[in-house]
Amino acid sequence: MRPGLCLPVGIASLIALLPALNLQAQQSKIVIPRGESTIVLEPYAPNVIRVTLSLDKDEATAAPGYGIEAKPAPAGWSYEAGESAHTYRSSRMVVTLLGGTGGHHDAVPAPEPTNVQKTQASIGKFFNGSAPWADIRFSTPDGKLLLEMNGWQMSVPNHKDGNATILNEKRPSDKDFYQVGATFASPADEHYYGLGQNQEGYLDHRGHTVECWNNYVATGGPTWCIPFAVTNKGYGLVWDNPSQTTIMPGFNEQTRWLSQVGNRVSFFVIAGHSTDEIYGGYRLLTGATPLLPKAAYGYIQCKQRYITQDELMGVAKGYRDRHLPADVLVVDWFYYTKMGQMDMDPKNWPDPKAMNDELHKMGFQTMISVWPRFVPDDRFYDSINKKGWFEHLADGTPTNGLPYDRAGSDIDTTNPEAARWYWDTIRDNILSKGFDSLWADETEPDLPPNGSYYHIGPGTRYYNVYPLFHTAALYDGFRRDTSHRALILSRDAYLGVQSKGTIVWSSDIAPTWDTLKRQVPTGLDAAASGLAYWSNDTGGWQYLPGEHHPAHPPLLDPSDARDNVGGYDDYPELYTRWFEYATFLPIMRTHGSRNFNEVWSYGKQAEPILEKYLKLRYELMPYIYSMGYSTYESGAPYMRALFMDFPNDAKAADLNDEYMFGPAFLVAPVTDQGVTTREVYLPAGTDWYNYWTNERVHGGQTISVNAPIDQLPLFVRAGSIVPLGAPVLSTNEPQALAKVRVYPGSDGSFTLYQDDGKTYGYEKGESKITRLHWTDAAGRLVHEGAEAWSGPDDALLQIVGGK
């Protein structure tokens, strides 16, 4: 500045502030005092930002909670503190905190709303909020509003709110308990998806209260919580609090998040031009979804339970003698002599190592159930107890379920020493017998932790985290001590579980048509929560009723399956419809409490239909496995509610009984008894092909589709490229491409992925990637990258409709 040059006071003040503002813009977070509270803005990418509010500055500035792996990344963000607002912006997002400041360290309280009536002022003498007012708006650089937070709370538990007794669930040495929450504006046309597993039967959560916690006895079926919501407004929200959380979406033009215990409000906003970009942000925050062993994408055969080694070998022989494909056989619970004994009863399992060796030669892998429970008279209980490794009460007593639950106590795998011991013990006593993968049952944990304590703190505060720690204990062990990919079947989930080689299932559901119908939206929301590998017990887990007589004549004769279905006349029909649906799930696994549960167990009329879909699953293996790679790369699921791929089609926003399976297939399961047609909506903007007839139909309409008992309504989007594999008995066999099928009507692309299917070599680029592209106008398929087949293209290319 030249000597003697005078500037207006406001400009001079701004210039004086610039060094501080520029310095702060280079820091990982913006810290803004607001009365008695502190507000922190912390970017993780140009389209991902964390917001934290607390009455305790140390809590506001602390790192995120469990499940978040990413580190802050402020590059590209700039900050400005004006008289009316704080503004933090990147190339993708503008975050505005209303209420100005005279400088970074001298913030003044934001003005309260000015339209306060006298009565409101009088009410304020007796009833007041728990935190200073804050309004934070998230927009795109071109001015489109994504989200607005217009209030928050951090309240001491009290009798007015009815939560005073929760203070009994903390020890004097624990952090103070507060109830924390935030309120967001909710436009009338906003839809909410994800939020973990809720089995009440809806897809869009708007207008439905979501109880986001692990709850085995929840309405409709067991729930678990992934506090991640994806909306149709171009953003996703990750709520960073592991206590029991209630979400109230779209009530009174607001959406509220309310957590039982916390010391701050902490959440992430992810902006996305598409839903897949939102999932990319979730992947950044919580970790990539690794490729599973290729066998996991095939068929997993299970029941409750194979009691003996001979029985399991008989099932394996049954599949191979019939030349039917199958990959994984499962040994469920009670193979041991005691709960927690970590052994196999020699009366029933005389030589499990030799059994597994033989099964491996037959092309099978094996999975075995491991529980975190230990009874007082097993060989490990006393040692675990002396080391303080159980979930426990305030006085250190292990939590148990007496008098009704006599299965002992849960090991506390939030303790790193206990987690390492748990893996080592399973490795040495179970996996050493040749088993390939683990079923981590009862990961709620089975004994709800509220009022109990973990190594990391009160179970009430950390209610939902056990599935993350427990699966991590196993996954980390697999990565450390084995050379093959981890596969862990877990009952429950939390933020980040998808990064632990985990598949999750909908737990112990009932064998009813109502349950089947509700499984469709349940799975779609689970996948929308960033957990691509969701499955269910095909056929339902619970025991069949003694009698069930349907309202309509059964489509399949149950008479030659009475030893299995008893008096449940329509069960072969139900199982067949369920099996057809399961063919188009990310994980195809059958399970349940029937006498028999193999594809030949439900009568001679059902058997050929079940075989047809089992073989179809393996024919689609090149397509399905390539989708697994796509999820690894992008974080986006490949079982997709229609809102993901058709955001501009209003009719697709809340369709909860059909979905996309990858980019090509529209799946419309039949979930009603006795019907042989169903209505299917074909989204607008594309043509569709009936998979069974190759009939081409325009999108944007609802049509009536024939659905005889052997046909799942299935359509393929025009422009799709679908690679099909030659028949194999398991993914352990090399599978040649049999066809590359093209459905004309639009340009299309597909990335075909191949690797060894077993190791983590893919993380080092040890794979074959072939990019296929169809140019519709020219009627030509081209490919680049790795060679995926030998011989001329015409020998494999199949153009539907003969174009």
Q: What is the mean pLDDT of each run of 10 residues along the chain (803 residues)?
A: 33 39 60 96 98 98 98 96 94 94 43 66 83 96 97 96 96 97 98 98 98 96 98 98 98 98 98 98 98 98 97 98 98 97 98 98 98 98 98 97 96 98 98 98 96 98 98 98 97 98 98 98 98 98 96 97 98 98 98 98 98 98 98 98 97 97 98 98 98 98 98 98 98 97 98 98 98 97 95 94 66
Specify the pLDDT at position 118.
78
Look up 508 and say whether it is catalytic: yes
Specify the pLDDT at position 8.
36
Q: Which of 362, 281, 273, 241 is nearest to 732 (CA)?
A: 362
Catalytic one of 327, 441, 492, 657: 441
**Edge-first strand listing for the sheet containing 265-271:** 30-34, 37-45, 48-54, 265-271, 235-239, 228-231, 192-194
CA dihedral 646→647→649→654, nearest 10 degrees, is: 90
- Cα separation of 209 and 206, whole Å? 8
For residue 451, the SS3 value is coil
Specify the pLDDT at position 5.
30
Q: Which of 603, 573, 645, 621 is nearest to 729 (CA)?
A: 621
Directed axis angle between helix 606-619 and helix 571-582, to 10°? Answer: 10
DSSP string, 723-770: EEEPP-SSTTS---EEEEEE--SS-EEEEEEE--SSSSGGGGT-SEEE
- Cα separation of 656 and 204, whole Å? 8
Residue 349 in tokens:
């399992």
Look up 444 and say whether it is catalytic: yes
- Cα separation of 291 and 793, whole Å? 29
Answer for the pair 100, 87: CB distance below 8 angstroms, yes or no: no
Element (H or E) spanning 202, and its range?
Answer: none
Q: What residues form DSSP beta bridges with 2?
A: none
Residue 449 is given by DSSP the state -
- Cα separation of 736 and 733, whole Å? 10
Specify the pLDDT at position 246.
98
C-beta neighbour count of 99 within 10 angstroms: 24
Residue linked to tokens 């009530």: 251
Specify the pLDDT at position 65.
98
Phi/psi of residue 309, nearest 5 degrees = -60, -40
Contacts of 259 by beta carbon, 8 Å cutoff, 6+ apart: 179, 180, 181, 239, 241, 243, 244, 245, 246
Query: Which residue stretches of 334-406 are H helix?
Result: 352-361, 381-386
N- to C-terminal Cα separation, the chain: 74
Contacts of 257 by beta carbon, 8 Å cutoff, 6+ apart: 181, 182, 184, 227, 239, 245, 246, 247, 267
Catalytic one of 42, 59, 169, 444: 444
Catalytic one of 200, 476, 508, 672: 508
For residue 358, the SS3 value is helix
Answer for the pair 683, 711: CB distance below 8 angstroms, yes or no: no
Residue 14 is given by DSSP the state H
Q: What residues form DSSP beta bridges with 547?
A: 567
